[in-house]
């Protein structure tokens, strides 16, 4: 049983939602944020408020957080944003090509996060946690969705089908070709949604560990009812699209190509390959203008350990650390991580045109493996999953006052 509550959201006025919703703050370069900020209604004025301050202003400074609060207050006063009168659940649909997913925007329990009923699978960085904590505390709103997954539930699926068959509040196609749609739950169905959530045993953080940790810290400061919940988008696991998170290594750690390939062959079966692996355990390796498929030799992977059994762990434990000397991929400057949305061409370009030594295209980590790691209170290696499409910011906001 999980505690997932409706709330009275703040959201863009329906007719201008297309001008407001924006990509996640942490996927934008400063130049991209500045370009979006030419639109005075864009939500980057809240999430990347340094664009409205003198050049060089620290994005993580109190001045930036105060500017974000002022900008949000202005959007409320001029009618760009509006607050709903009654608590509800919001259904948020996304369509990317042939892929479609629908989640529910709701308020989730900080206490359940603290007790690990909302399960985690990665460490947080103190600096990013500090940033999200101060941003949330100073602007007095939760503006970014914590991306949660749950094992698909028949009752929630039926409710989703019913509610999303009605006319939406708005539907927007963003510059990346993704269609975003928002529905409000009719008042007579709100309790039905709440009761359906009561039947779930747990929730899993897909993305948003820093935001959820920040919500916990803000609640520890305030200890009031409002801060006891955080803003989240909850999606069924069977609708989510997980892409690969690929690796590019800058050099061969002093080895020549033949010595490196010999080390690979000690640990992996190697055969002529394809750019994108077709199966779990297969890894596509690009070096010297050729694609190879490598697969760990029998006994090399500890299948009983949910972390060691991950393909990204096998690559790290068998090759990146012992052969290429990348002991800590979180801090190493000799490795780059490339989101699967960029495809194998980005890996070829890194090796052929940017002087990198070798690239690895992974098979996407299955969500069930993420759930197994989280259920065992373990931590996945960095950059294990890449979710698409990304949840937009400014779709719905939750007030802390």
The whole-number pLDDT of residue 258 equals: 97
Average pLDDT over residues 85-101: 97
- pLDDT band of 17, cuts 50, 70, 90: very high
- pLDDT at site 196: 98
What pLDDT was estimated at residue 324?
Answer: 98
pLDDT of residue 10: 98
- 256-295: per-residue pLDDT in tens? 999 999 999 999 999 999 999 999 999 999 999 999 999 9
- pLDDT tens digits for range 102-126: 999 999 999 999 999 999 999 898 9
Question: For the chain, what percent of residues have pLDDT higher than 90?
Answer: 98
Residue 184 has pLDDT above 90, yes or no: yes
For 31-47, the pLDDT digits (tens) are 999 999 999 999 999 99
Task: Provide the mean pLDDT of the chain.
Answer: 97
pTM beyond 0.85: the answer is: yes
Q: What was the pLDDT predicted at 320?
A: 98
Residue 94, pLDDT above cutoff 90: yes
* Span 147-172, pLDDT tens digits: 999 999 999 999 999 999 999 999 99
Q: If pLDDT is split at 50, 70 and 90, which confidence band does 1 have?
A: confident
pLDDT of residue 64: 98
pLDDT of residue 249: 98
pLDDT in tens, 361-383: 999 999 999 999 999 999 999 89
pLDDT tens figures, 198-215: 999 999 999 999 999 999
Q: Domain spans of the chain? A: 4-241+388-399, 245-363
Secondary structure in 3-state letters for the chain: CCCEECECCEEECHHHHHHHCECCHHHCCHHHHHHHCCCCCCCHHHHCHHHHCCCCCCCCCHHHHHHHHHHHHHHHHCCCEEECCCCECEEEEEEECCEEEEEEEEEEEHHHHHCCCEECCCCCCHHHHHHHHHHHHHHCEECCCEEEEECCCHHHHHHHHHHCCCCCCEEEECCCCCEEEEEECCHHHHHHHHHHHHCCCCEEEEECHHHHHHHHHHHHHHCCCHHHEEEEEEEEHHHCCEECEEEEECCCCCCCHHHHHHHHHHHEEEEECCCCCCCCCCEEEEECCEEEEEEECCCCCCCCCCCCCCHHHHHHHHHHCCCCCCCCCCCCCCEEEEEHHHHHHHHHHHHHCCCCCEEEECCCCCHHHHHHHHHCCCCCCCCCCEECCCCCECCCEEECC
Question: Domain 245-363 adopts which CATH fold?
Answer: 3.30.1760
């Amino acid at each position: 049983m999980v505690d997932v509550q409706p709330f009275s959201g703040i959201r863009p006025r329906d007719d201008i939602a297309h001008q407001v919703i924006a990509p996640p703050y942490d996927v934008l370069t400063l130049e991209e944020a500045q370009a979006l900020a030419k639109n005075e209604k864009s939500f980057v004025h809240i999430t990347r408020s340094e664009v409205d301050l003198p050049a060089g202003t620290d994005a993580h400074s109190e001045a930036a957080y105060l500017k974000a609060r002022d900008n949000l207050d202005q959007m409320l006063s001029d009618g760009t944003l509006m607050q709903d009168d009654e608590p509800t659940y919001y259904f948020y649909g996304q369509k990317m090509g042939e892929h479609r997913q629908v989640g529910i925007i709701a308020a989730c329990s900080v206490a359940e996060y603290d007790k690990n009923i909302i399960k985690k699978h990665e460490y947080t960085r103190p600096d990013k946690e500090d940033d999200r904590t101060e941003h949330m505390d100073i602007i007095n709103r939760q503006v970014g969705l914590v991306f949660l997954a749950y094992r698909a539930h028949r009752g929630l699926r039926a409710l989703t089908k019913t509610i999303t068959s009605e006319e939406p509040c708005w539907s927007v196609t963003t510059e990346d070709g993704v269609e975003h749609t928002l529905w409000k739950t009719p008042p007579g169905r709100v309790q039905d949604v709440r009761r359906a959530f009561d039947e779930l045993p747990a929730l899993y953080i897909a993305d948003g560990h820093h935001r959820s940790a920040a919500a916990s810290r803000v609640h520890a400061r305030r200890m009031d009812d409002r801060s006891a919940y955080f803003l989240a988008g909850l999606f069924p696991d069977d609708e989510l699209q997980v892409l690969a998170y690929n690796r590019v290594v800058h050099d061969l750690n002093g080895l020549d190509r033949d010595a490196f390939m010999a080390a690979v062959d000690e640990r992996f079966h190697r055969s002529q390959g394809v750019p994108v692996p077709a199966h779990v355990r297969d890894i596509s390796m690009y070096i010297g203008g050729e694609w190879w498929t490598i697969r760990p030799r029998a006994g090399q992977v500890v299948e009983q350990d949910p972390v060691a059994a991950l393909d990204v762990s096998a690559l790290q434990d068998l090759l990146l650390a012992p052969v290429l000397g990348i002991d800590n991929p979180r801090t190493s400057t000799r490795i780059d991580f490339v989101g699967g949305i960029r495809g194998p061409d980005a890996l070829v370009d890194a090796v052929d045109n940017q002087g990198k030594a070798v690239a690895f295209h992974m098979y996407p980590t299955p969500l069930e493996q993420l759930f197994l790691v989280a259920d065992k209170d373990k931590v996945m290696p960095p950059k294990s999953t890449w979710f698409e499409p990304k949840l937009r910011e400014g779709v719905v906001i939750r007030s802390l006052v």
